[in-house]
Amino acid sequence: MLPPVLLPPLLLVGCGRMGGALLTGWRKVGLAPSYVVDPRPFEGDETAGVTFVRQPEEVPLSFCPAAVVLAVKPQAAAATLPAYANFAQSAVFLSIMAGRSIRGMRDLLGPRTAVVRAMPNTPAAVGQGVSVVTAGSDVTTHQRQLCHQLLTAIGIVEWVDDEGLIDPVTAISGGGPAYVFLLAELLEKAGIAQGLSPALARTLARQTVSGSGALLAASAEDSDSLRRAVTSPKGTTERALAVLMADGAWPALMTRAIEDATARSRELAD
């Protein structure tokens, strides 16, 4: 049995990992007949009232989406967005393109286009994402509420008034899953180097990272308190942390990494 329709018609532009996660979440909530534009061949179930097309010209002129969700690569924005400018008078544009500013998108879609800019992250694929969102000046209260509803389908949503904050958000939560995956990768390799079997090292690394994340999410304690609770005086964890937290080591490298990623996000903006 299909869920009741709680979401209005939508036009999703791009159905990669993040676009696909959004679409899955919307279908679970209940989505009115909608369209997805993606040039890649689609293999899957279209019985939920979602029609896949490869080009924007294939979307019927009579179709009137409440929102156009932009889930394409930011490098493709200039070539992609103008084809959707005809929807600007009636729809809000919700962009999840990293680095693309509201001003830059309005230059491509029209100066009065209602644009909401969001930065979700890949745990959205399992409904555990976090999206930080900011709205342009022409976005109505109703459109803001709709965008909030669309993004809650993949996790929690936080709003900021200053668009400039989206750049450090991109560096921290947008790229953050990659940093966590790198930690799991390095733990696995280090375990193998110490004589563990690859299978056991992989299990230990993955479960330690995922379990620690679950504990962090469930705990009211600060992360540094949780860290200290694991660190017995003169024990093995203290010895390891002495290496990781030495001058120029992990804390300094993480600060530098976030600074560089933030700068790159700003470079991608128009």
The confidence score (pLDDT) of residue 44 equals 57
Query: Distance (Å, rounded) from C-alpha 63 to C-alpha 175?
Result: 35
Residues 6+ away with beta carbon under 8 Å from 71 = 12, 13, 14, 15, 16, 18, 19, 22, 96, 97
Query: Distance (Å, rounded) from C-alpha 11 to C-alpha 34?
Result: 6
pLDDT reading at 22 higher than 90 = yes
Residue 216: inside a domain: yes
The confidence score (pLDDT) of residue 96 equals 95
Q: Are residues 150 and 238 in the same domain?
A: no
Q: Which of 115, 145, 165 is the last residue of a domain?
A: 165
Region 254-266 average pLDDT: 93
Residue 5: inside a domain: no
Q: Are residues 70 and 145 in the same domain?
A: yes
Q: Are residues 202 and 96 in the same domain?
A: no
Q: Are residues 78 and 125 in the same domain?
A: yes
**Banded pLDDT at 2 (limits 50, 70, 90):** low
**Banded pLDDT at 159 (limits 50, 70, 90):** very high
The model's pLDDT over 209-246, given as tens digits with 9 standing for 90+, comes to: 999 999 999 999 999 999 999 999 999 999 999 999 99
Q: Are residues 180 and 160 in the same domain?
A: no
Q: Which of 110, 140, 165 is the last residue of a domain?
A: 165
Residue 1: inside a domain: no
Q: Are residues 30 and 69 in the same domain?
A: yes
Residue 156: inside a domain: yes
Residue 97: inside a domain: yes
Residue 195: inside a domain: yes
Q: Are residues 129 and 259 in the same domain?
A: no
pLDDT reading at 46 higher than 60 = no
The confidence score (pLDDT) of residue 231 equals 95
The model's pLDDT over 122-158, given as tens digits with 9 standing for 90+, comes to: 999 999 999 999 999 999 999 999 999 999 999 999 9
pLDDT reading at 6 higher than 90 = no
pLDDT reading at 111 higher than 70 = yes
Q: Are residues 74 and 156 in the same domain?
A: yes
Residue 126: inside a domain: yes
The confidence score (pLDDT) of residue 48 equals 65
Q: Are residues 129 and 185 in the same domain?
A: no
Q: Are residues 41 and 103 in the same domain?
A: yes
Domains: count for the chain: 2
Q: Are residues 225 and 200 in the same domain?
A: yes
Q: Which of 165, 188, 210 is the last residue of a domain?
A: 165
Question: What global pTM score does this model have?
Answer: 0.88
pLDDT reading at 270 higher than 60 = no
Domain hosting residue 258, numbered range: 176-268
Give me the CATH number covering residue 180: 1.10.3730.10
Q: Are residues 214 and 192 in the same domain?
A: yes
The model's pLDDT over 74-96, given as tens digits with 9 standing for 90+, comes to: 889 999 999 999 999 999 999 99
